[in-house]
Amino acid sequence: LFAKVEMAPRDPILGLSEQFNADPNPKKVNLGVGVYYDDNGKLPLLACVAQAEKQMVEAPKARGYLPIDGIAAYDKAVQGLVFGADSEVVKGGRVATVQAVGGTGGLKIGADFLKRLNPAAKVLISDPSWENHRALFTNAGFPVDAYPYYDAERRGVAFDAMLAALGQADAGTIVVLHACCHNPTGYDITPAQWQQVIDVVKSRGLVPFLDMAYQGFGQGIAEDGAVVQQFLAAGIDFFVSTSFSKSFSLYGERVGALSVVCSSAEEAGRVLSQLKIVIRTNYSNPPTHGAQVVATVLTTPELRRMWEEELAGMRARIKLMRTALVDKLTAAGFKGDLSYITRQQGMFSYSGLNKDQMVRLRNEFGVYGVDSGRICVAALNSHNIDAVAAAMAAVA
């Protein structure tokens, strides 16, 4: 039966973690996967999460099946966070939101739904994009192409080329956009540029799919979510996938959501019924724990305040690491303008190092980053940054 099964390549990101875990080098540093570690290199358990879990343990509940679309209070809290609890779309019942197995789950539910809705559509992702975007939409049955995004020479966004490519896309093309903290480059577009993108999307009848996995890691929760308000103001239908893996440090709980903004409450009801079929035929219904934690934190004022503070702390430490990396690289003799490192947003820095250099970093220094040159700045700390900077300078 399996004689013809080929060995698949390792996942470009999670496969690196497998390789990292198997490496006996005591000085190894994992800057591959997008995970935030504290200054002691430890994965944080947020105090707001611990507090919510304590409350849950003190009032234990049996675990029945959840509704197919998840915990109602969770879906409502997601809508409040992403769109605003008092927004016209939420109050008017125009958003269909379902709990999903992480942000990836949200993307896949949306992709499967879109495939049924418009089987002939194409998908456009940014060049470059999160490695899994292409694979996920390809596996959902779509042809996947890319719009220009990264300008290597100017270290920023190739915005004119991006806009021109979107301006030539066929009506109905699904355009995957990073709402904030672009993965992998760290370069975001400005609100004015977003407006130009939205105008093109609207005039050409494209289908925007916002991937929002890093809300709160750029400028702030509201600031990073502002693009959603711009899309709402444009009056178009769109998709948003949400992840709480990073912002709640709940990676292993797989807590995410998919929201679909529709033109009417009646339409949202029909869309929701289809999303539920996608979920039911994939994994039936979602798990309880992580979503209950997030719902408890988001709806309990004291815990919510704690969460916002803790997220601000993570954001500030990443910025500190960016500045420190510039200083250390400069001290290690790294030539050239490094200011791009502090201009980038979120967990990642597109270092500009090529694949050979990334392989050398891994093999000679035990510093693991993605072959594309992406390093996770959120995994740097005051104990490992000297060694990382020295290694980067050595291979550059």
d(CA 16, CA 51): 33
- Strand 374-376 versus strand 348-350 pairing type: antiparallel
Tokens 């601000």, located at residue: 312
Catalytic position from the list 246, 307, 328, 371? 246
> At 318, is the secondary structure helix, strand, or coil?
helix
Segment 183 to 242, residues that bind ligand LMR, using CB under 6 A: 183, 213
- Tell me how crowded residue 100 is: count the other CB atoms within 10 A of its CB: 30
CA distance 286 to 106: 12
Q: Does 130 engage in binding with ligand LMR (CB under 6 A)? A: yes
Task: Check residue 250 for interaction with ligand LMR (CB under 6 A).
Answer: no
In angstroms, rounded to a whole number, what is the distance separating the alpha carbons of residues 344 and 180? Answer: 11
- Decide whether 98 or 213 has the Cβ nearer to ligand LMR: 213
Catalytic residue, candidates 69, 112, 130, 224 = 130
Dihedral angle of Cα 136, 139, 141, 147, to the nearest 10 degrees: 40
For ligand LMR, the closer of residues 79 and 183 by Cβ is 183
Q: How far is the CB of 213 from ligand LMR (least distance, A)?
A: 6
* Residue 13 makes contact with ligand LMR by CB under 6 A: yes
Cβ–Cβ under 8 Å, residues 49 and 213: no
Which residue in the list 69, 112, 211, 224 is annotated as catalytic? Answer: 211
The helix/strand/coil state of 25 is coil
Structure tokens belonging to residue 206: 């494209």
- For residues 130 and 206, which CB has a smaller minimum distance to ligand LMR in the complex? 130
| 176 interacts with ligand LMR by CB under 6 A | no
Query: Could you tell me if 220 and 311 are in contact, meaning their C-beta atoms sit under 8 angstroms apart?
Result: no
Q: Closest separation between CB of residue 146 and ligand LMR, Å?
A: 17
Does 33 sit near ligand LMR (CB under 6 A)? yes
Characterize the bridge pairing of strands 150-151 and 156-157: antiparallel
Nearer to ligand LMR, 184 or 208 (CB): 184
What is d(CA 53, CA 87) in angstroms, rounded to the nearest whole number?
30
16 near ligand LMR (CB under 6 A): no
The answer to whether 375 contacts ligand LMR (rule: CB under 6 A) is no
Active site residue 211: yes
Q: Give min distance, CB of 290 to ligand LMR, in A.
A: 15
> Judged by CB under 6 A, does residue 110 bind ligand LMR?
no
Task: Judge whether 276 counts as a catalytic residue.
Answer: no
Residue showing the smallest CB distance to ligand LMR in the complex: 34
Residue 345 interacts with ligand LMR (CB under 6 A)? no
Which contiguous run of DSSP H or E holds residue 192? helix 191-204
CB of 247 to ligand LMR, least distance (A): 12
CA dist., res. 234 & res. 198, Å (int): 7
Alpha helix ranges (H) inside the chain: 14-22, 47-58, 72-83, 88-91, 102-117, 131-139, 159-167, 191-204, 221-234, 265-282, 289-299, 301-331, 340-343, 355-365, 385-395
Closest distance of CB 14 from ligand LMR, Å: 6
Indicate whether 365 belongs to the interface with ligand LMR (CB under 6 A): no
Q: Minimal distance in Å, beta carbon 18 to ligand LMR? A: 13
Nearer to ligand LMR, 79 or 245 (CB): 245
Q: Are 133 and 211 in contact (CB under 8 A)?
A: yes
Q: Which is nearer to ligand LMR, 66 or 213 (CB)?
A: 213
Q: Is 128 in the site for ligand LMR (CB under 6 A)?
A: no
Judge whether 112 counts as a catalytic residue: no
The catalytic residues are 130, 211, 246
Interaction site with ligand LMR (CB under 6 A)? 13, 33-34, 130, 132, 183, 213
